[in-house]
Amino acid sequence: MFERVILVVLDSVGVGAMPDSRVYGDDPDSDTLGNIARLRPIRLPNLRRLGIGNIRPIAGIEPVAEPDGAFGKCALASPGKDTTTGHWELAGIHLDKPFPLYPNGFPPEVMSAFESAAGRKALGNKAASGTEIIKELGEEHIRTGSPIVYTSADSVFQIAAHEAVTPVPELYRMCEIAREILRGKHEVGRVIARPFVGQAGTFTRTANRHDYAVAPPAGMLLDKLADRGVAVASVGKISDVFLGRGIAKSVTTKSNADGMSRTLEVMKEWPAGLIFVNLVDFDSLFGHRNDVEGYARALEEADAWIPALEAAMSPGDLLVLTADHGCDPTTASTDHSREYVPVLARGSGVASGRNLGLRASLSDIGQTVAANFGTTIPRGESFLNSITPRKDPK
């Protein structure tokens, strides 16, 4: 029905706690978009026009009589609340159990194997904010050459190193070592290279981050599209999450602004197939740092981008805006939050004002994309027929 689908993940823009959020240690009042709007009035005229305020009550964002497209929200069916879990579910993969977490650091058998293979001792080995741990241990790292290993509330093994001390290729090599070690019961969702530069007091992480994810099971959305000969381009960290599988063109980004600009560039050269985008700053720069003002500004900047995105669309395009989990900057926690996520569908072939309701899984989005291109994925219920205008019977 649509020649091209632009699927944009507004990373962590959740719309209210799921009923089981307490099981995941969340504040039961977690509500990323709602709480930000309650504490800091935000102007989102374009998202409002698309129906964001029709999904549920949001302070200062009134529903519109007939949104420019379809609207609804998705639950997360898989256990967990992280990047891999959310994106995999979008692609039709439901986890049986969450990826392992290490709130007290990694056990000796992991660290001993890593240090032996890497040929050096590690610093840290604890759960920490990425910016705070390089502030704490950056000078010692520079003095000793020891990499900084840390985790977070997510299932991640992160290695930070100064680019002048540990060249980026060497940092990547250590991450590859860690990825091979972290299998079986210790198979974390991602190993992440976190290079930084600068002097003590002004350390800054660089754009040379690289993720080493677990290989997704066969048969997910990008595999099925590749089998059908559907061209897929990715913008942002999508290629890292899926290990490049089924992706013909991958564009890395430095920020939300860069991601939005690069998406428009890709749209000029990618007239058909799927463009799969992740805008990560909401999560990495503002949600995890409890920066309400920064998160609000980022939302307004993304909203201001939507008219340019719409102007770049062709008559045969479908735009879908969604998220992968929450990360409420207004609660005491700096972790992800298990929240419902929005789904907004827009295009000249999309019926205005169509309410998609509560979807049981993010896989419904992936199944919709799959159905559009004549295939299916293991999980999810397509809403493709629900968003297209109904024809009057003859």
User: What pLDDT shows up at residue 160?
Assistant: 98
CATH 3.40.720.10 fits 4-98+215-387, yes or no: yes
* Residue 315 CB coordination number (10 Å): 9
Over the range 223-238, which residues count as b (16 or more CB within 10 Å of their CB) and which as e?
Answer: bbbeeeebbbbbbbbb
Spatial separation of the C-alpha atoms in residues 328 and 308, rounded to whole Å? 28
> What residues in the chain have per-residue pLDDT under 70?
390-394
User: Taking Cα atoms as reference points, which of 306, 333, 354 lies closest to residue 10?
Assistant: 306
Fold of 108-213: Alpha-Beta Plaits (3.30.70)
User: What pLDDT shows up at residue 394?
Assistant: 40
This prediction has a pTM of: 0.90
* Residue 68 CB coordination number (10 Å): 18
CATH 3.30.70.1250 residue ranges of the chain are 108-213
Over the range 142-166, which residues count as b (16 or more CB within 10 Å of their CB) and which as e?
Answer: beeebbbbbbbbbbbbbbbbbeebb
The H-assigned helical ranges of 65-144 are 83-90, 108-118, 130-144
Spatial separation of the C-alpha atoms in residues 164 and 144, rounded to whole Å? 13
Contact 313, 44 (CB under 8 A): no
Give the tens place of pLDDT for each residue, 111-157: 999 999 999 999 999 999 888 999 999 999 999 999 999 998 789 99
Three-state DSSP at 123 gives strand
User: What pLDDT shows up at residue 392?
Assistant: 43
CATH 3.40.720.10 residue ranges of the chain are 4-98+215-387
User: What pLDDT shows up at residue 154?
Assistant: 83
User: What pLDDT shows up at residue 393?
Assistant: 40
Contact 294, 285 (CB under 8 A): yes
User: What pLDDT shows up at residue 25?
Assistant: 86
User: Which two structure tokens, joined as six digits, stand for 268?
Assistant: 């000029």
The H-assigned helical ranges of the chain are 32-39, 45-50, 52-55, 83-90, 108-118, 130-144, 168-181, 221-227, 238-241, 256-269, 281, 292-311, 363-372, 384-387
User: What pLDDT shows up at residue 390?
Assistant: 61
